[in-house]
Amino acid sequence: MNVLMCPVCREALSLTDKTWRCINNHSYDVAKQGYVNLHVVQHKHSKNPGDTPESVQARRAFLSGGFYAPLQQAIVEKIRDLRIENLLDIGCGEGYYTDAMQQEVMQCVGVDIAKNAVQVAAKLNKEVTWVVGTGATLPVLDHSIDLCTSLFSPIPQEEILRVLKAKAYLIVVTPAPEHLLAMREGLFEEVKAHEPHKFVEQLREHFELLEHPIVESVFELDQVQLKNLIAMTPYAYKAKPEKRLALEAQTKTQLKAAFQIYLFQKK
């Protein structure tokens, strides 16, 4: 079953000969890399929204080292337990988590606003329906999705409620309070703990919180790996250049990752 929605008229899209088309004849070609761009010009607020190509490449390089594999595995196991058919990954980025999640479902859609990220993701797994789109208007039909995931991405609550079936699920992953604390202390004069619980407050009215495990891992990075980690985070442009350079000069850096996972069910 196709779950994609035309972003112009909101009718269902169907795929014929590498073109997605709705009954009103709006059409969207599948790019040679294997994704479709449903981020129409009237929904754009900038020419190249989302992550920069440099950030995408840094994230691909860092994640390929397996440092966040414990989180990837925890998410995969949770999806396996839920036994769902279709999944929408909001803010899929370069596809590291989406690729793994697809193995556990019948249908997987990965959406990101950054075209350069989706271009990289589309080369990873041809079984995923990769889409350039915006969370402000998720290009997915009403009540068509069993599980939405948002890993370190925005949570467009109204749109998630629209696309989820009754009693369907939402998985949110966000940094736990101690996530990369040593790195943040090296980059900033004052470090505030992450506040993951704010998402629970935001979602309380329409979602029931079922589980809230924390996944932790400790790892050691060399200089190149640390540079990639910094470059893939907002810290890359928020930190003072001299502090960043001093941290990146270290031969080895030991860090602790701490991920807060929330599993919600739509009320």
Please, what is the end-to-end C-alpha distance for the chain in angstroms? 25
Residue 161 backbone zone (phi > 0: left; psi -120 to 50: alpha; other: beta): alpha
Residue list for the binding site for S-adenosyl-L-methionine: 68, 94-95, 179
Residue-by-residue DSSP string for 39-89 = --GGG-SSSS-SS-HHHHHHHHHHHTTTTTHHHHHHHHHHHHHHT-SEEEE
Integer Cα distance of 172 and 215 in angstroms: 13
Residue list for the binding site: 6, 9, 22, 26, 68, 94-95, 179
Residue list for the binding site for Zn(2+): 6, 9, 22, 26
Distant-in-sequence, close-in-space partners of 6: CB < 8 Å, separation ≥ 6: 12, 13, 22, 24, 26, 38, 139
Q: Where are the alpha helices (H) located in 93-222, listed in sequence order?
A: 96-102, 115-122, 157-163, 181-187, 197-203
